[in-house]
Structure 1
Amino acid sequence: MADTQQPNPDQPELTVTTGQASAGEVNENTTAEPAVETMPGLEQLLKKAELDAQEHHDAWLRAKADAENIRKRAQVDVTNAHKYAIENFSTELLPVMDSLEAALAVENATVENFKSGMELTLKQLTTVFERFNIKLINPAGEKFDPHLHQAMCMVDSSLAPNTVVQVMQKGYILNDRVIRPALVSVSKAK
């Protein structure tokens, strides 16, 4: 019996071809060795990892310094905001002060002159208050509200109980917050 080798149908037949060889021929110059890629050495991998680690560390230090600078700037901004919060309001009040000083500097002023000067000064002050959203609380004849009014006394009155009879001192609200309640007398129940 002769040794004949028949192709195994489960294994594909391998043929290596080049551009000039025909489909069934094997080129003599072609080798069946796989192409070996050069793997980087451990030293190269370690150097690359060290460089990456140093780069990340530097980026972290820069980010940390930036965060610290932002924190310090914010702290200075908050300090300045507290320190100079009323700067605009103060600037607007200066003309009112000038008007009062000018009224006092007049030597031969009459009562009418003083009265008209005071009315103009009050108008200036009211304008400043409106500009900075400071509103007047003048509750005469209104129902007593403990959030806006402070009762100084209760008096007999023909008005309904808990009604403001007299305003002793007006109150003020700044942006919906009471900065001074109105001092009032309130009618009591009969």
Structure 2
Amino acid sequence: MSENEKKEEAMQEEQEIVEETAEEAGTDAETAEENDASEAQIEALKNEKEELEGRMLRLQAEFDNYKRRTLKEREADRKYKAQDMVQELLPVMDNFERALQVEVSEENKSILEGIDMVYRQLKDVFTSQGVSVIETEGADFDPNVHHAVMQIEDDSVEANKVVEELQKGYLLKDRVIRPAMVKVNK
């Protein structure tokens, strides 16, 4: 082989190496673009996952709050289930008490005994349902359970004390069904 041929052959080998290197560089560029695209896709998926986790946590918290609220409502419903009935029967109770204040005579004695029996039964039903009378006379005036309709000035009684009960008040467990109407000392 002559020198020219050797040079030509070396140039061809160089050309082949350059072409191979160029092909590899092109492949590397494509791989880099694919990697960038994959990384962007991975980042987008991470963001979507975080967003979905946040939504799931908020929904879970809302559901827990809903369960707690409905449980409280159901407990209150059970605790105060007799409230409507008691409110409707309070005027009946008042009328029984008024009937029992009538003067006893020979003619109305048996009627009053019957009224008293029915009154005691009604009172027992109230007690079994958790209804109690609000204590008033001699007690300190409490606007949460007393309704002051009159005020008097009496030096023999302490200030802000209930002097007289004008209408009974009732509690159902710890809830005021009807405040007691009272006369209070100034």
TM-score, normalized by the shorter chain, greater than 0.5: no
Structure with the higher helix share, 1 or 2? 2
Give the TM-score normalised by structure 2. 0.43
